[in-house]
Structure 1
């Protein structure tokens, strides 16, 4: 069965973006970018909220057309374009959209369970608000946190405040040369 994997880069103080959606503090070098490409290439689909999808769609469809694009950037542009994308939005019209995208208006656990039963790679979950909804519904199987060695002080947190207790087990950690640390957790059965 496919897993739903929530992946996010965060500052050491737990923010995924600073004020005004600032992510200029992300330390993405070729080593980390290649790791991301290798991790995301076998995924079955990207599952994102509208804001995350629009940010990605604003850059990645043509990023490899830039003559100054690095090899890892061009590689990810192709991965992103070709990968099926499921976007949850209450403001966009439901149905097929550009870039191999399907817009869905509501998170329906039974539909996600059926999607997990289908063949193919795991599902990569992105976007803090959508991930919060998935976590509330106990739909996240694994969490991959890429901790960047920076304190940004304020912004949007990776996890919202909640009264829910979710037990996790560390199954992988890796330090990259730029100081970013991957912590991969699996959700323990309740």
Structure 2
């Protein structure tokens, strides 16, 4: 069975956004490696619209630094599954608009053969965490205090906490720390 993996940047004060967090080459390489283990990435509308068409355009133009260009190519190759009630059609060739409920769609994907399923959206990660459908978490902690922004479980109250087991930790020269956890069973 395929794993569902959530990876995201966050500030020291626990905010999951992009304010004050500037991914460097090491961070891009880390997420490129993570994405290369997957075949699908799940999104809600807001994050999807931040990522697409930006990264597919970079994949075509190769107009950024080498690590960003490589990230863009890997990102563009993934099948994206978009969960949105407001969007009715998608123009990106690698995006499927999900028609079923989140739990059912993810359960079907997990049972298929292939590479891992990635989660690229905070709202989707919150819901899947509540449903105990995320197998691994990659929290990339930036040495910055931002003071505000989105948090995990902002829009959803976690009914019951759960334990994570640390699999690895890596510190980059910038002071960014990437922690990799699996859900404790």
Does the Cα contact within 8 Å between 1:86 and 1:101 map onto a contact in 2?
yes
- Alpha-carbon separation, structure 2, partners of 1:67 and 1:105: 33
Tell me: CA distance 1:58–1:67, structure 2 relative to 1, closer, same or farther (3 Å). closer
1:174 aligns with 2:173: no
Does the Cα contact within 8 Å between 1:27 and 1:178 map onto a contact in 2?
no
Aligned length: 183
Which residue of 2 is the match for residue 61 of structure 1?
Answer: 56
Q: Deviations over 1:63-120 (max 9, x none)?
A: 14556411122212221222101111111126x6413100114534233222112111
Tell me: CA distance 1:108–1:64, structure 2 relative to 1, closer, same or farther (3 Å). closer
Please list every run of 5 or more consecutive structure 2 residues that lacks an aligned counterpart in the other structure: none
- Alpha-carbon separation, structure 2, partners of 1:55 and 1:46: 14
Moved more, 107-116 or 121-130: 107-116
2:181 alignment partner, one of 156, 166, 185: 185
- Alpha-carbon separation, structure 2, partners of 1:49 and 1:105: 13
Which residue of 2 is the match for residue 145 of structure 1?
Answer: 139
- Alpha-carbon separation, structure 1, partners of 2:181 and 2:46: 25
Q: TM-score, normalised by structure 1?
A: 0.88
Which residue of 2 is the match for residue 35 of structure 1?
Answer: 30
1:107 alignment partner, one of 101, 111, 125: 101
1:9 aligns with 2:9: yes
Which residue of 1 is the match for residue 149 of structure 2?
Answer: 155
Question: Residue 16 of structure 1: SS of its match in structure 2?
Answer: coil
Q: TM-score, normalised by structure 2?
A: 0.90
1:71 aligns with 2:69: no
1:133 aligns with 2:127: yes
2:113 alignment partner, one of 97, 119, 127: 119
Does the Cα contact within 8 Å between 2:62 and 2:69 map onto a contact in 1?
no
User: 1:165 offset after TM fit, Å?
Assistant: 1.1
